[in-house]
Amino acid sequence: MRILVTGGAGFIGSHIVDAALARGWEVRILDSLNPAVHPGPPPRRPGAPLMVGDVGDAVTVAASLKGIDVVVHQSAKVGLGAGFFDAPDYIRENDLATAVLLAGMASAGADKLVLASSMVVYGEGAYTDSAGVPVRPDARRLEDLERGIFDPRDPATGELLLPTLVTEDAALDPRNVYAASKLAQENLASAWARSTGGTAIALRYHNVYGPRMPKNTPYAGVASLFRSALARGEAVRVFEDGGQRRSFVHVADVAEANLRAIEALVEGRVVMPGSFRAYNVGASEVQTIGQMAEVLSAVGGGPAPMVTGEFRLGDVRHITASSARAWAELGWAPRHRFEDGMREFATAPLRGDPA
Ligand SMILES: NC(=O)c1ccc[n+]([C@@H]2O[C@H](COP(=O)([O-])OP(=O)(O)OC[C@H]3O[C@@H](n4cnc5c(N)ncnc54)[C@H](O)[C@@H]3O)[C@@H](O)[C@H]2O)c1
């Protein structure tokens, strides 16, 4: 098996590279080593040649695709950005670059793609009313948040809604530029598959954590921000009431999901030529942000978390994955338990730590 991992020097990409090498596969990395996310040169991975270059550059892409069976497209500008002025960057790095990559694949006859997508394509998670009927919530009301009522309401009745697991056929509602750019990547992949007869799988990662996660960047995930606060001897500040539900998933499990998707494409299972299929990749156990803060503080020997009641209007209240489709069709299920993974994460090296 010969795979190209775009963004293979990054957090998730580097774990995919390691896992693929451990399977005995041939791996090529294409990564721009974007200085905004790489404070220093990333560790070289013997056995996985690194092409330093931009996925948005057609000549580089053509060279990187030679002899490749499956493209695993991880490179992207991630996180929420500093403001709307970032929008052109997101579209260039995520959508234009993906279009260049897919056009290169079409020319090279490379017909199998695994795409890193995200739970952000859903916006809010899934909810039901008290009778178990699915309801799409309204945006949360400022007056509720100010009174410490954090769960969304039923637009028809005003009743507070109950969170449930989101499945891949839920309505899509990208709420910021990053989310819009991730959904556009999926749409491009789908259009590419239909037009070329290729096969594409999008993996919608939920909250990924683990060794080599970036620390202290504006785009770092909440787990990394909490760890950085503890390292400074500060209490972790938890927004709202800490009850925000998430599907935390260990990065090694995400790497394994990519390998399963690659195998499914190569074996011609699951996705028919000319088509595209999306899968949630999240933990089966539902956890809350408050629980994560408690485990990290306890393991790190730091002060107890501070639940502040602060809120940001656009924040998603709950989003938790049903990964049943990935289990049924790709044979993937997360293996790392939350407590064990967080214990390891509490002291694991992060990107940006002194070497
Ligand atoms: N980290 C998460 O929790 C999470 C959640 C959902 C989805 N994702 C998706 O997973 C993928 C990987 O994310 P990550 O957390 O590993 O990010 P990361 O920033 O650690 O890695 C991205 C890598 O891509 C490279 N890159 C960026 N633009 C490039 C370009 N134009 N050409 C070549 N290389 C380029 C960067 O140098 C970096 O090494 C992204 O597509 C992201 O949207 C991540």
Q: Which of 65, 24, 32 is nearest to 48 (CA)?
A: 24
- Pairing state between β 26-31 and 50-52: parallel
Query: Would you say the CB of residue 11 lies under 6 angstroms from ligand 1?
Result: yes
Query: Would you say the CB of residue 98 lies under 6 angstroms from ligand 1?
Result: no
Distance 116 CA to ligand 1 centre (A): 8
Rounded to an integer, what distance in angstroms lies between the CA atom of residue 29 and that of residue 256? 17
pLDDT at site 216: 66
Residues 165 and 304: beta-carbon distance below 8 Å: no
Query: pLDDT tens digits for 73-112?
Result: 999 999 877 789 999 999 999 999 999 999 999 999 999 9
For 195, other C-beta atoms within 10 Å of its C-beta total 11
Of 314 and 318, the one with more pLDDT:
318
Nearest CA to ligand 1 atom 7: 118
Query: pLDDT tens digits for 61-84?
Result: 999 999 999 999 999 999 877 789
Token representation of residue 153: 């309401």
Q: Summarize the confidence of residues 220-236 as an average pLDDT.
A: 88
- Give the pLDDT band (50/70/90) at residue 269: very high
- Give the pLDDT band (50/70/90) at residue 219: low
Q: What's phi and psi for 287, nearest 5 deg?
A: -125, 170
Distance 269 CA to ligand 1 centre (A): 27
Q: Summarize the confidence of residues 41-51 as an average pLDDT.
A: 90
Atom of ligand 1 nearest to the CA of 221: 3
Atom of ligand 1 nearest to the CA of 205: 6
Query: Would you say the CB of residue 255 lies under 6 angstroms from ligand 1?
Result: no
pTM of the model: 0.96
In whole angstroms, how far apart are CA 194 and each of 111, 189, 197, 275, 311?
A: 11, 9, 6, 6, 42
Token representation of residue 15: 């774990």
- Give the pLDDT band (50/70/90) at residue 114: very high
Query: pLDDT tens digits for 19-43?
Result: 999 999 999 999 999 998 898 888 8
Query: Would you say the CB of residue 288 lies under 6 angstroms from ligand 1?
Result: no
Name the average pLDDT for the chain: 94
pLDDT at site 161: 97
Atom of ligand 1 nearest to the CA of 117: 7
Three-state DSSP class for 272?
coil
Token representation of residue 240: 């709202």
Pocket probe mutation, ligand 1, options 5, 16, 31, max atoms within 8 Å of Cβ? 31
Pocket probe mutation, ligand 1, options 14, 78, 247, max atoms within 8 Å of Cβ? 78
Give strand pairing partners of 90: none
pLDDT at site 6: 98
Considering only CA atoms, give the Rg of the chain.
20
Nearest CA to ligand 1 atom 3: 208
Distance 85 CA to ligand 1 centre (A): 20
Rounded to an integer, what distance in angstroms lies between the CA atom of residue 59 and that of residue 129? 53
Q: Say how many CA atoms lie within 13 Å of 56 toward its Cβ.
A: 13
Q: Summarize the confidence of residues 287-300 as an average pLDDT.
A: 93
In whole angstroms, how far apart are CA 90 and each of 60, 61, 264?
A: 20, 19, 30
